[in-house]
């Protein structure tokens, strides 16, 4: 541990090692990561932040709590995500809390959320309709996705008649 990696690299290079310094560095450090340090990808952390807290496993909930408490920006981000998630259940009174949420996010120093709020304001009427009305085009989108899947599966195999039968009977 007291010998610098560069010194080791120079010694083994003289003995005929043909690899690079980065390879030696990886070899020396493998398995030496701190056990208490979290090894989690940004994508997995994002998924944990976006998952309903009731659906998280206990160990993931504890890990998320530790990670969000690690810095003030993560604490703010987690709080804003939780507050926005409450608005996703359509209700008549969601328009005013949305405006309040956008104001809160704009006052925070979270540039990616600022971009998100700009998108919400760009499609303001559609967002308000989506958060306040009980209607959804989800079933239509589901049928569309299923039709595209069947068409992709059948590409080059048969004509329109068989595609039509598979869609109508499936």
**pLDDT surpassing 90 at residue 34:** no
Q: How far apart are the first and last CA of the chain?
A: 65
What element of type H or E holds 6?
A: helix 5-14
Specify the range with the lowest mean pLDDT, choosing from 28-32, 139-143, 154-158.
28-32
pLDDT of residue 1: 58
Tell me, rounded to whole angstroms, the distance of Cα 21 from its chain centroid.
34
Q: Quickly state the pLDDT bin for 107 (edges 50, 70, 90).
A: very high
User: Has this prediction a pTM greater than 0.85?
Assistant: no
Q: What is the mean pLDDT of residues 45-54?
A: 90
- Domain borders along the chain are 1-32, 42-132, 142-169
The CA distance from 17 to 136, in Å, is 63
């Amino acid at each position: 541990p007291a010998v610098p990696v560069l010194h080791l690299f120079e010694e083994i290079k003289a003995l005929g090692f043909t690899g690079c310094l980065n390879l030696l560095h990886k070899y020396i450090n493998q398995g030496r990561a701190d056990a208490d340090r979290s090894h989690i990808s940004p994508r997995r952390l994002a998924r944990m932040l976006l998952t309903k807290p009731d659906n998280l496993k206990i160990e993931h909930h504890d890990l998320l709590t530790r990670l969000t408490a690690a810095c003030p920006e993560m604490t703010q981000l987690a709080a804003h995500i939780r507050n926005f998630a409450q608005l996703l259940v359509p209700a008549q009174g969601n328009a005013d809390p949305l405006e309040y949420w956008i104001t809160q996010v704009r006052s925070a120093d979270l540039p990616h959320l600022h971009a998100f709020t700009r998108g919400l304001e760009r499609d303001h009427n559609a967002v308000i309709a989506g958060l306040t009305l009980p209607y959804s085009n989800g079933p239509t989108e589901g049928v569309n996705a299923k039709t595209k899947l069947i068409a992709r599966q059948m590409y080059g195999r048969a004509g329109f008649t068989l595609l039509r039968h598979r869609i109508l009977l499936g």
